[in-house]
Amino acid sequence: MLEGIRVVDLTTVVFGPYATQILADLGADVVKVEAPGAGDAFRWSGKAAATPGMAPAWMALNRGKKSIALDLKAEEDRAVMLDLLRGADVFVVNVRGKALERIGLDYDNVRAINPSIIYVHCVGFGQDGPYADLQAYDDVIQAATGTATLLPRVDGNARPRYLPSLIADKVAGLHAAYAALAAIVHRQRTGEGQRVEVPMFEVFSSFMLLEHLGGLTFDPPNGPAGYHRQIDPDRQPFPTADGHISIVLYDDASWERLFAVLEQPDFLLAEHLATPKLRLQNLAELYRAVARFSPAFTTQELLRRCHAAQIPAQAVRDLDDVMSDPHLAATGFFRRRLHPSEGAYFEQSSPVRFGARGAQEGIPPPLHGEHGAALREHGWSAFED
C-alpha cells in the first residue's frame, strides 16, 4: 500500500508513534529518531521481558520501524538527520515549535532542503491559539475537553475522573495517520508538499463532542451538554448469576424481545409501559427491571438467548481474559512472534484488512538505536534487501 514511502519519525510516547506505526503497517519505511541515552520515554512504561527499555507498551506501538539515536544539538548527528529528511516523503514530529526552530527542524528549514516534504506536526494545541506553547498530555486533554466530567454525570460522584485509557493520545494518533495519508494523495496528484498540523486538544474536542455537545449544538441551546444514552446511570452492564453482561436495547422491539428472553413477557403490559412512547419516557425503570431479572440466568445462558432473539449482547470480560476470546483467536488477532532479544511475545495484528494486500509481518520493535550504524553509513538504502 505505502511501499516506497519514507517516513522520518521524531515523536515519542503514544500520539506520534501510534500514527507512524499505522504508516509502517501499511508498508511505509519508517525511521524512528530517538535521543541518546534513554530514548523514547515509553520504552520505560512497564516491565521489560529481557532488555531494559523494551516495555510492553513500547512493543505494542513501534513494530515495523528502525531506530537511530541522534543528538540533534550535535553538528554531526544533525547532518545525519538532514540527510534522512532530504530523502524522506513524510516527517512526523511532536516537538514543540520553538524547540524545532532552535535545532533548525521547523517546517521552513526542512522544506528548504526537501520542497516536497509532508511535514506532520503533532502538537498539543493549535498553533494560532493562546495555548500554542503549552505542554499537552492525555490527562490534560481529558480535563480540558470536559471528558473528566463524564463519569460524574453517570454515577453522581462529583469528583472529576479520567477515563482509564490513553484515549486522547490514540485518537490524535489516528487523526495524524489519516492526515498524512491525505497529504500523500495530494502530493501524488499535485507534486506539492505541505505542513499538516494535528492538535490533540482540537482533535479530541471534535471526537468527544460529536455526541456530547448535545443541546449546546443550537443557538440558543435547547438542552444541556451530554448524550443522554451514554451518561444514563442505569444503562450499565447487567448482573448475571455468575458475572455481568452488556445488552443493547436500541429500539422498542428489542425491549419486547428482551423481556420475553427474561421470561417476563407481562412486564410491559403495565399501563405506564404499554406504548413505545411511554416506555421511552420510563427507560430508567426498564433498565432497573432488567437488572432485577438478569441474575436468574448465567452469563452464557443469557448470551445464547439474546443472540437467538437478535439482541446485541456480549459478556463483560475481565481485561486479563481478553486474549482468550474465541473470535479474536479465530481471526488471528493476537500473533505469537519471537523477538531477537526479548523472546516470545504477542503482537496485535493490524485490525484493518485489505483485499489487495495480504497480512504483513513487519520487523519487530527495535532496540534503542539498533539500526543506527547502518543508517549512518547507508541512509535510506539501509532499508533495501
**Domain ends where: 282, 315, 348?**
315
Do 300 and 346 reside in the same domain of the chain?
no
Do 124 and 260 reside in the same domain of the chain?
no
Our count of domains for the chain comes to 2
Do 169 and 273 reside in the same domain of the chain?
no
Establish if 347 belongs to a structural domain. Answer: yes
Rounded to 5 degrees, φ, ψ at 355 are: -65, -25
The pLDDT of residue 385: 63
pLDDT of 118-133, one tens digit each?
A: 999 999 999 999 999 9
Establish if 216 belongs to a structural domain. Answer: no
Do 27 and 168 reside in the same domain of the chain?
yes
Do 36 and 95 reside in the same domain of the chain?
yes
Do 251 and 187 reside in the same domain of the chain?
no
Establish if 1 belongs to a structural domain. Answer: no
**Domain ends where: 291, 315, 339?**
315
Do 173 and 297 reside in the same domain of the chain?
no
Domain that holds residue 270: 238-315
**Domain ends where: 289, 315, 341?**
315
pLDDT of 319-365, one tens digit each?
A: 999 999 999 999 999 999 999 999 999 999 999 988 887 777 889 99
Q: Whole-number mean pLDDT of the chain?
A: 95
Give the Cα separation of 64 and 81 in Å (integer).
20
CATH number at residue 372: 3.40.50.10540
| φ/ψ bin of 156: left (φ > 0), alpha (ψ from -120 to 50), beta (otherwise) | left
Q: What is the percent of the chain where pLDDT is above 70?
A: 100
Establish if 322 belongs to a structural domain. Answer: no
Q: How confident is the model at residue 250 (pLDDT cuts 50, 70, 90)?
A: confident
Region 57-76: mean pLDDT is 96
The pLDDT of residue 200: 98
Do 191 and 265 reside in the same domain of the chain?
no
Establish if 103 belongs to a structural domain. Answer: yes
Do 72 and 121 reside in the same domain of the chain?
yes
The CA distances from residue 198 to 128, 165, 181, 285, 342, in Å, are 12, 20, 13, 44, 34
The pLDDT of residue 361: 81
Region 127-143: mean pLDDT is 96
CATH number at residue 254: 3.30.1540.10
What pTM does this model have? 0.93
Do 167 and 251 reside in the same domain of the chain?
no
Establish if 111 belongs to a structural domain. Answer: yes
The pLDDT of residue 354: 87
Do 271 and 342 reside in the same domain of the chain?
no
Do 251 and 334 reside in the same domain of the chain?
no
Q: What is the percent of the chain where pLDDT is above 90?
A: 94
Establish if 224 belongs to a structural domain. Answer: no
Establish if 155 belongs to a structural domain. Answer: yes
